[in-house]
């Protein structure tokens, strides 16, 4: 390719519509969007505390890396099994109702887990059972929550709304990860999880105040399988959609166990439990910077730009494997968060702009299932496989798979050439 052609191609990929301050703040002027992000941001805070608390609760009960992987896998497996059902319901019944009911039920389940841990009655099997129940509850509302953004703002500021929602959620998660490690170290896992229960109560109230239309037509409904088939056909209609869902499958198969199982052990044993919390907080700080970048930078070919930056996710597992100091691990975590956030915003915007509203929740359910279907397997196998080949060796493999799969996705013309419509 000639130099001039290369320059033109790069310009076409990276040209940004520089939004005004009014445009960026526009979504918050809409009451429904404020309520939506208040609820999702609050639960984002609590839900980043719980994985840290749960990991050390299992270890404190005498569990091994394999036991921890099985507990987390119970949550992930239940989530995957329920997601498609949640997607069909999200296109049939009011999405607000799905979100409100799920949050209210999670208040009870998380409060129960907290009470069991505080009272000293918890066992690893009980934690796994409650984890599975929470996975089901979260999966019922996740497609509805993802599809809700477009219902709360005008189309012309949808891109800003997607970026701002992601930024606020990850900003809360930065606080949650940092506070989570400290809470577990100071007051214990049970009290830390009780904070998550309180955040679900706040979210349930916020979602109950949403006033959005339910646009699904009345009359005879197709069967559950027919609705699923319609959603699947919509996914397969877009090459970039099913290809990057496949890439996400590999990402979660390998990185889920690296973060959920090996991270607390490798970093926690070497630098202390609070260090793992700060590593996750630094990862989320990368998300925040990526979100801020997306508020200003709107590449015309956003999916290409996001997928290219997705290669940075390899830095976190590689740094955990290769570094004997905490600083490189924090840098790797930051780069991971930055790349993943930019990709996530561009991915979310692409789906919101190119999928019809009456299929949106089902498409999101296939997106989530495709992303997470291999996660339970990865969580369950990470402990035994890493124990066999060595923790550091396995983390190197994880990093290579994550970076390599993103590069392979860039070979698709559909990924490289999809353009924004707003």
Q: Can you give the residue ranges of every domain in the chain?
A: 27-210+223-417
pLDDT on residue 177: 73
Q: Please identify, in words, the CATH class of the domain defined by 27-210+223-417.
A: mainly alpha
Give one DSSP letter per residue of 326-342, joined into a string.
HHHHHHHHHHHHHHHHH
- Residue 237 DSSP class: T
pLDDT on residue 21: 36
Q: Which two tokens stand for residue 68?
A: 């921890």
- Kindly report the backbone phi and psi dihedral angles of residue 328, in degrees, each rounded to the nearest multiple of 5, phi listed first: -60, -30
Instruction: Give the residue among 118, 125, 110 at the shortest CA–CA distance from 67.
Output: 125
Burial tier of 100 (Cβ tally within 10 Å: 0-12, 13-18, 19+): buried
- Residue 261 DSSP class: I
Q: Which residue has the tokens 């929470």?
A: 134
Q: Per-residue pLDDT for the chain (422 aa), expressed as one digit of tens each?
A: 443 333 333 233 333 333 433 444 578 889 999 999 999 988 888 888 888 888 888 887 877 767 777 777 777 777 777 887 788 887 788 888 889 898 999 999 999 989 998 888 888 888 888 888 888 888 888 888 888 888 888 888 888 888 888 888 877 877 887 788 788 888 888 888 888 899 999 999 999 999 887 655 555 466 777 777 888 888 888 889 989 988 888 888 888 778 777 877 778 777 777 778 788 878 878 888 998 898 888 888 889 999 999 999 999 999 988 888 888 989 999 999 999 999 988 998 888 888 887 788 888 888 888 777 777 777 778 878 888 888 888 889 988 999 999 999 999 999 888 887 76
pLDDT on residue 3: 38
- Cβ atoms of 181 and 173 within 8 Å: the answer is no
Q: Could you give the CA distance from residue 294 to residue 190 in angstroms, rounded to a whole number?
A: 37
pLDDT on residue 24: 44
Q: Could you give the CA distance from residue 20 to residue 8 in angstroms, rounded to a whole number?
A: 25
Cα dihedral 79, 85, 88, 89 in deg (nearest 10): -90
Instruction: Give the residue among 243, 356, 232, 233 at the shortest CA–CA distance from 303.
Output: 243
Q: Which residue has the tokens 């229960």?
A: 197
pLDDT on residue 222: 66
Q: Could you give the CA distance from residue 52 to residue 55 in angstroms, rounded to a whole number?
A: 5
- Centre a 10 Å sphere on the Cβ of residue 334 and count the other Cβ atoms it contains: 24
Has this prediction a pTM greater than 0.75? no
Q: Could you give the CA distance from residue 380 to residue 165 in angstroms, rounded to a whole number?
A: 32
The helix (H) or strand (E) run that includes residue 290 is helix 273-296
Cα dihedral 36, 37, 41, 42 in deg (nearest 10): -50
Q: Could you give the CA distance from residue 154 to residue 145 in angstroms, rounded to a whole number?
A: 17
Q: Which two tokens stand for residue 169?
A: 């959620």
pLDDT on residue 35: 93
E strands, 62-140, are none
Length of the chain in terms of residues written: 422
Helix, strand, coil percentages for the chain (3-state, nearest 5) = 85, 0, 15
pLDDT on residue 23: 44
Task: Say how many CA atoms lie within 13 Å of 330 toward its Cβ.
Answer: 12
Q: Who's near 390: CB < 8 A, 6+ residues apart?
A: none
Q: Could you give the CA distance from residue 23 to residue 295 in angstroms, rounded to a whole number?
A: 10
């Amino acid at each position: 390719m000639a130099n001039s052609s290369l320059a033109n191609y790069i310009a076409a990929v990276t040209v940004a519509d520089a939004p005004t301050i009014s445009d960026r703040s526009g979504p918050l002027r809409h009451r429904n969007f404020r309520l939506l992000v208040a609820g999702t941001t609050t639960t984002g805070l609590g839900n980043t505390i719980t994985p840290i608390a749960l990991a050390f609760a299992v270890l404190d009960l005498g569990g091994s890396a394999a036991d921890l992987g099985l507990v987390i896998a119970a949550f992930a497996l239940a989530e995957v099994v329920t997601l498609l059902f949640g997607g069909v319901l999200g296109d049939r019944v009011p999405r607000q109702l799905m979100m409100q009911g799920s949050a209210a039920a999670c208040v009870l389940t998380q409060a129960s887990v907290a009470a069991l841990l505080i009272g000293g009655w918890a066992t690893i099997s009980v934690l796994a059972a409650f984890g599975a129940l929470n996975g089901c509850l979260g999966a019922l509302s996740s497609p509805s929550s993802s599809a809700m953004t477009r219902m709360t703002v005008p189309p012309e500021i949808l891109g800003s709304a997607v970026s701002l929602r992601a930024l606020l959620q990850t900003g809360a998660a930065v606080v949650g990860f940092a506070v989570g490690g400290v809470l577990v170290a100071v007051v214990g896992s049970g009290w830390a999880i009780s904070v998550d229960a309180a955040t679900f109560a706040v979210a349930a109230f916020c979602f109950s105040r949403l006033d959005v239309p339910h646009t699904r037509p009345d009359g005879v409904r197709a069967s559950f399988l027919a609705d699923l088939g319609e959603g699947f056909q919509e996914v397969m209609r877009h090459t970039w959609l099913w290809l990057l869902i496949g890439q996400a499958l590999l990402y979660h198969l390998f990185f889920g166990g690296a973060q959920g199982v090996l991270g607390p052990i490798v970093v926690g044993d070497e630098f202390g439990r609070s260090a793992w919390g700060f590593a996750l907080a630094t990862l989320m700080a990368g998300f925040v910077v990526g979100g801020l970048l997306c508020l200003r930078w709107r590449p015309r070919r956003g999916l290409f730009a996001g997928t290219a930056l997705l290669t940075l996710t390899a830095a976190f597992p590689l740094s955990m494997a290769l570094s004997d100091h905490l600083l490189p691990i924090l840098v790797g975590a930051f780069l991971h968060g930055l790349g993943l956030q930019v990709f996530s915003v561009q991915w979310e915007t692409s789906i919101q702009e190119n999928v019809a509203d009456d299929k949106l929740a089902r498409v999101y359910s296939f997106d989530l299932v495709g992303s997470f279907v291999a996660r339970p397997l990865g969580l369950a196998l990470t402990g035994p496989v890493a124990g066999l080949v060595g923790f550091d060796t396995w983390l190197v493999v994880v990093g290579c798979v994550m970076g390599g799969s993103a590069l392979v996705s860039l070979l698709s013309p559909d990924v490289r050439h999809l353009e924004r419509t707003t």
